[in-house]
Amino acid sequence: MDVRAGVLAGDIRSVARGISWVENDDPRAAELIRGIYPSTGRAYIVGLTGSPGVGKSTLVSRMAALMATGKRKVGVLAVDPTSPFSGGAILGDRVRMFDVALSPNVYIRSMGTRGSLGGISRATRMASRVLDAAGFDWVLVETVGAGQSEVDVHDVAYTTVVVMAPGMGDEIQAMKAGIMEIGDVFVVNKADRDGADRTAAQVASIVQLSDEREWHPPVLKVSAELNQGIESIIEAIGQHKSFLEHSGKLAEAKASMARRDVLEILRARLSEDLQHELDQPVLQEKLDEVANRHSDPYTVVDTVFEQYWRKP
């Protein structure tokens, strides 16, 4: 299977395999990304985040169905938590996505977090590049059920949608920092239930606090279950997109995303190198000294940094 050619031709099996390589840190992933990166930068990436149980998966499947009209292709990356104990995961987002599972223009991929704590996995970034190169017009990234600090989705998406549900009043107060700060669009889902107006008003009051921004995030009430108001979300995403385009911020975002692509790979490689460095026999004595309290971590780090890291 020529995965690179397959991805560029939009072949689903190749896309799926390419994402597996990225997830497994397979050496072939680097080769693949090299071959497809010039064809990326065209997809519009939207992140969706929010607490567990607010209805993200149902919402994503409704949005994907609407976005995939005409010849538009929608790729979904749905992230679920990996067990820190076994390394396994139950990826159940698909249970709520079956309406669109067989639509030829929608591709859904479930991903485990595999040790990442920011609400997405380390591979999500490169997985969205694979979808981008395969000609997907939209990429929707659904995070794990996120609380306050899982804000990494903001770094991989151009527009971030924060999803809430009624009855979260006090929680919203507590979320003032973190995910309340990354929303470009706020959605109060389950709007058919009691308390939706109150929740929406609370969100709006917090959003207004940071009103010096040029973009004023809308607060929308929808029901994914009843399929009501979904088009208002897509409209708001479209408005945010044209705001970014016209203000030059989209170009900025793309540049900083490319920078992050480099940074993330660099970070992973350095971390691997450092691990390797620590395994060198010459350092074992120094590590023992730290263990015996004859030395301390800072001193050893200084030594490592000077002697091994700043190699000529």
Choices 8-16, 131-139, 144-152, 278-286; region in contact with another protein by CB under 8 A: 8-16
Name the minimum Å distance from CB 83 to another protein: 6
Q: Which of 98, 226, 269, 284 binds another protein (CB under 8 A)?
A: 98
* CA 230 – CA 244 distance, rounded (Å): 22
Choices 46-54, 60-68, 105-113, 284-292; region in contact with another protein by CB under 8 A: 105-113
Q: Does 110 bind another protein (CB under 8 A)?
A: yes
Q: Which of 8, 30, 66, 91 binds another protein (CB under 8 A)?
A: 91
Beta carbons of 30 and 3 less than 8 angstroms apart: no
- Phi first, then psi, for residue 62 (nearest 5°) are -65, -45
The binding track of 10-49 with respect to another protein, each residue x by CB under 8 A or -, is: --xx--xx-xx--xxxx-----------------------
- Phi first, then psi, for residue 97 (nearest 5°) are -120, 20
What lies within 8 Å, CB to CB, of 78 at 6+ separation is 57, 60, 91, 93, 94, 97, 108, 109, 110, 111, 142
Choices 104-112, 131-139, 192-200, 283-291; region in contact with another protein by CB under 8 A: 104-112
Scanning the structure block, which residue is given the tokens 């088009």?
Answer: 231
Instruction: Specify which residues 185 forms β-bridges with.
Output: 161
Q: Which of 5, 101, 263, 266 binds another protein (CB under 8 A)?
A: 101
Nearer to another protein, 24 or 149 (CB): 24
Distances (CA, A) of 186 to 4, 9, 47, 218, 254: 37, 35, 12, 6, 23
Beta carbons of 47 and 76 less than 8 angstroms apart: no
Half-sphere exposure of 60 (CA within 13 A, CB side): 38
Scanning the structure block, which residue is given the tokens 């480099």?
Answer: 262
Q: Does 274 bind another protein (CB under 8 A)?
A: no
Q: Does 204 bind another protein (CB under 8 A)?
A: no
Q: Does 262 bind another protein (CB under 8 A)?
A: no
The binding track of 70-89 with respect to another protein, each residue x by CB under 8 A or -, is: ------------xx--xxxx
Residues that bind another protein (CB under 8 A): 1, 12-13, 16-17, 19-20, 23-26, 82-83, 86-92, 94-95, 98, 101-102, 107-110, 112, 114
